[in-house]
Structure 1
Amino acid sequence: MTRPARRTALLCALAAATALLPAAPVRAAEPRSPLRFTDCPDSVPRPAAPERVECGRLSVPLDWHRPRGPRIEVAVSRVRASGTPAERRGILLVNPGGPGGSGLPYAVTKRAKLPESVRRAYDVVGFDPRGAGQSTPVSCGPMGGLFDSPGSDPVPAGAPAERAYLSSLRALADDCATHAGRLLPHLSTEQTAYDMDAIRGALGEPRTSFLGVSYGSWLGAAYTARFPHRVGRMVLDSVVGPWDWYDFDVIQSRALLRQRGTFFAWTADHGERFGLGGTPGAVREAYLRVRRGLTARPVAGFGPAEFDRAVYRALGRTERWEGLADGLRGYLTDGAPDGLRPATAFDGPDSRTYESANRVVKCADGPGPSARDIVTDIRRTRRLDPHPVLTGMEASACAYWHHRPGHRTPLGSPDAPPVLLVASAHDPVTPVEGARGLRRLLPGARLVTLDNDYSHGVFASRGNACVDDTLAAYLVRGTVPSADVRCTGPGLPTVR
């Protein structure tokens, strides 16, 4: 069976298996004590007065299947609803994605972008998922050289490079086993879903409403699988498909190729502005000259791995395309990669925790690939384009994981109330087919698509009134569209 056929069969099997799951437990995952809030750490921004953010810590079992065993703490933040008591609809948990993204500041930053009616209706509650941020952060140490500067070329070409690539994945898995220790098997999305319900219980709320972006969509789907009768209103934005993580990473890598081709064509259409050529082929050759130059001679720790990370980041949001094109031209003009460097340092402490949690969670959620799968898929991708962007292939390390999970994280439930899924039509980070796949596990779900859009993150992010009004009506009034909704997107970015 071909890998695409296997993915299709897996999706069907997941749908069938989910339909046969026993009813999710409705007994509360109650903590030992209620959440008590106080001031937040300096890493959490302050909202505009008179509103305030408050933070607390919740003790939860390390393993929810052994609730009397060791415990860990989950960091929680909250900004209360700004409306009247009659307007209040409960709590809205939020998650920014990852796996590994910190949700503690997200309660403030995302809330500021939400429609006013949503801010008036909900206490917006952020939390650092277990293993991330300030919730028992996980460390994988050197991660097999992932933080080396400059890093080795992340696109192996030829058998010796492929063997070296696999060796680096094995070293990453070994480092995670050495440094993460007892945490390694217990940082799955399923365990975090139980933490979410503990937060609900500690706040004394009967239902959990939820806004999850990117990986947050996977987390929301996992919560519905375990606690369908506790789901209030749920928005899953920029949806990760219901595949194994490794299969998702492969799908994403192919979508990035399509997006990069669109970027080349867009840059060529503005040839006078960027000076990289007037055809997509000319822009592609300029791009490859930059990458070849940085491979042959890295500059101040910036080599091919750092270049690919910058490209990966830029391709996901069209407002970054102009900066990427300017950075390419800057390097070709003066040999300096400064314009290509991301705003945040990859080797900072937050990045190290994020990258560790990302691999640990993915590998705890289900089976990993074989070494043969990895090599075969890289070769297939390189036949599509010899120079792909493989930065998002985090789950490849799961081939050598020390703690193989006994089952896949379950997603979705036929008993869940209607959920709204949101997708950008040309999002390369979470391609739209992921939303179409997940909706099969969420009966009654509606898909809100932003057509003619090429960015990751849609609701209260793209400034689209059609999307934002549809989602606000659902969250505040419970209005479920009678059918899927298609909104008109902004198209490719304009150039200053």
Structure 2
Amino acid sequence: MRTRGAGYGLVAALGSLVLSALTVPAASGTASGPAAGLRADPPGPETRGTAVAAERAAAKGVAFGPCPDSEGLPETVGCGTVEVPLDYADPDGTRITLTVSRIAAAGEPAEHQGALVYNPGGPGASGMFFPLVGQLDAFKGIARAYDLVGYAPRGVARSAPISCEEPSAHIKAPSGSETYPSRSFKRERVAEARAYAEGCARRSGPALRHYTSLNNARDLDVLRAALGQERLTFMGASYGTYFGALYATMFPSHVRRMVFDSAVHPGVEKIWYRSNLDQSFAFEARWADFRAWVARHDDVFGLGDTPGAVGRRYDEVKARLAVEPAGGTVGPAQLQSAFLGAGYYDDYWPARAKALSEYLRGNEKPLVQQASPKKEWAAESENSRAVYTANLCNDAPWPTDWAVWERDNDALARKAPFETWDNAWMNLPCAFWSPPRQRPLEVRTRWGALPTVLILAAERDAATPYEGAKELARRLKGAVLITEEDAGTHGVGGGSNDCVNAYLEDYLVRGEAPVRRASCAPHPEPDPVSLERRLPQPVLPRPAV
């Protein structure tokens, strides 16, 4: 699942600074006491270890103070740490430290509803930036009611970081990408995937097996306790919705309010091999959306007046870069990664189309600027991919026979060529991962187990296809689904859709949600000229991931 983190609406809007239907009450700000939940995480050593760690964290709390310069956060943000067990079956054994950030609620004491904790997904993305969203119009009401709390999950940044290769090797460029890979290309990439998996085991050691989605959910409960919250108010995007759903299943009585933005399909049968095949198929439709938009603006870009013509120009550029990389650093793989971003976020469309157009006119500078790996991001990007790989490979069984990967991806590439094989290469280290591997937890709650939770989804999202949001709503009984119709941006809360943002604020601040579901019209398509000048920076994990 080639994710770039989500919560894109939040991060994109922050770049310029340094979510009406019949409503019913959701969870109140003061309700407490256990709910009659379905304990899908049976009592065992990890369950007991989580309770021990949470009790310790509650007693210690979080001592917020100035943030280290390395976080790049302004003085208005406070930083602290929380200790969690590396292995929850052994809470008295090795402990690791997670970094946490916070800005206190801006409203009057009577408005205060506790802490709102956020995770942007990945796996491998840090949410340390999150407290800054209080500066956005869409979040000002929320920021009055809540302490805005971000954190870096285990493995990420300064939170017991893991690594699989040297950062310089991770961003090495140019590199190749073949839509229908030859046998020799496949052999090279299989060897690279095997070496990468071996590097993860060698560089991170025995601790590597403890970087899992279940442990991310347990860490979240320890963080809740450390923040002094009897029940958790949480917003997760993309992958953050998956371990958020695990949390809701494991700790239903600890949930106050939860927002799932751009939801991963929670089905055991999907985690994670089938999810990636579904994602690659969905990107084909989103790639078609981008090409259709470019074709409608042929007067601006000159790349052709049909989606097919635009696609042929892209293929032409990809072939030329295989012979002569742009700027010595942008080959077919770097081009593919840059244009994959257009499948995630339509705000990228103007700049990507302009870069393609300029390259074909003899000016490679915009393409080099947008697609070249950034040396200053090398360590972050390498760490993000290491965490991504560790979580997904540890979480579930994967096919270990290369013939299965080759059969499935060859067949899919005939229907969805744009992203299929590049996505396969991203995840192929899981074929060579050292055991043990977990069995995914069945995400499901009974009626009455949870307070109302809110699910936000864009109908044409490719990174987390819409069926995942519908399935999560079916499994978390009483969940409310808000759909941005005919739109495909990944991560919609706090973005440019006022209708979605109104539902988000109504839920978090006033505890109100539609009875079951509601829809919003799509946000406007990007302007082919004006938006290119304010293109937001990529969201972690970086495009190399």
- Check whether TM > 0.5: yes
Distance 1:207 1:174, change over 3 A: same
Quick check: 1:424–1:458 contact (8 Å CA) kept in 2? Answer: yes
- Kindly indicate whether residue 493 of structure 2 is the aligned counterpart of residue 469 of structure 1: no
Q: Which residue of 1 aligns with 2:309?
A: 282
Which structure 2 residues correspond to residues 209-358 of structure 1 after superposition, within 5 A?
209-242=233-266, 243-299=270-326, 300-334=328-362, 336=364, 338-339=366-367, 341-342=370-371, 345=374, 348-358=378-388
Distance 1:389 1:491, change over 3 A: farther
**Alpha-carbon displacement from aligned partner over 1:29-72 (angstroms, at most 9, x marks no partner):** 2335321111012244556xxx9211111121101121111111
Distance 1:91 1:482, change over 3 A: same
- Kindly indicate whether residue 446 of structure 2 is the aligned counterpart of residue 443 of structure 1: no
Q: Which residue of 2 aligns with 1:21?
A: 40
Q: What do you get for the CA RMSD once the two structures are aligned?
A: 2.4
TM-score, normalised via structure 2 length: 0.82
Distance 1:344 1:471, change over 3 A: farther
Provide the C-alpha distance between the structure 2 equivalents of 1:205 and 1:493, rounded to a whole number of angstroms: 41
Q: Which residue of 2 aligns with 1:363?
A: 393
Which structure 2 residues correspond to residues 39-438 of structure 1 after superposition, within 5 A?
39-44=66-71, 46=73, 52-109=76-133, 112=136, 114-142=138-166, 146-153=170-177, 155=179, 157-242=181-266, 243-299=270-326, 300-334=328-362, 336=364, 338-339=366-367, 341-342=370-371, 345=374, 348-370=378-400, 371-388=402-419, 390-393=421-424, 394-414=426-446, 415-438=449-472
Quick check: 1:302–1:337 contact (8 Å CA) kept in 2? Answer: no
Provide the C-alpha distance between the structure 1 equivalents of 2:186 and 2:76, rounded to a whole number of angstroms: 52
Quick check: 2:235–2:259 contact (8 Å CA) kept in 1? Answer: yes
Provide the C-alpha distance between the structure 1 equivalents of 2:88 and 2:454, rounded to a whole number of angstroms: 28
| Number of equivalent positions | 475
**Alpha-carbon displacement from aligned partner over 1:431-465 (angstroms, at most 9, x marks no partner):** 1111112222211111100012121111111x222
**Alpha-carbon displacement from aligned partner over 1:382-402 (angstroms, at most 9, x marks no partner):** 211555454444333211101
Quick check: 1:213–1:238 contact (8 Å CA) kept in 2? Answer: yes
Quick check: 1:145–1:172 contact (8 Å CA) kept in 2? Answer: no
What letter corresponds to residue 433 of structure 1 in structure 2? E
What letter corresponds to residue 442 of structure 1 in structure 2? L
Give unmatched runs, 5+ long, in structure 1: 1-17
SS for the counterpart of 1:134 is: coil
Provide the C-alpha distance between the structure 1 equivalents of 2:86 and 2:171, rounded to a whole number of angstroms: 28
Distance 1:350 1:294, change over 3 A: same
Q: Report the alpha carbon displacement of residue 241 of structure 1 after superposing the two structures with TM.
A: 1.1
**Alpha-carbon displacement from aligned partner over 1:212-248 (angstroms, at most 9, x marks no partner):** 1111111211211221111111000011111212211
Distance 1:234 1:145, change over 3 A: same
SS for the counterpart of 1:480 is: strand
Q: Which residue of 1 aligns with 2:521?
A: 488
Q: Report the alpha carbon displacement of residue 261 of structure 1 after superposing the two structures with TM.
A: 1.2
Provide the C-alpha distance between the structure 2 equivalents of 1:475 and 1:249, rounded to a whole number of angstroms: 32
Provide the C-alpha distance between the structure 2 equivalents of 1:93 and 1:429, rounded to a whole number of angstroms: 23
Percentage identity across paired residues of the two chains: 34
Provide the C-alpha distance between the structure 2 equivalents of 1:95 and 1:20, rounded to a whole number of angstroms: 23
Which shows bigger deviation, 105-114 or 229-238?
105-114
Which shows bigger deviation, 137-146 or 393-402?
137-146
Provide the C-alpha distance between the structure 2 equivalents of 1:96 and 1:464, rounded to a whole number of angstroms: 18
Give unmatched runs, 5+ long, in structure 2: 1-36, 530-545
Distance 1:42 1:265, change over 3 A: same
Provide the C-alpha distance between the structure 1 equivalents of 2:168 and 2:158, rounded to a whole number of angstroms: 24
Provide the C-alpha distance between the structure 2 equivalents of 1:210 and 1:296, rounded to a whole number of angstroms: 48
TM-score, normalised via structure 1 length: 0.90
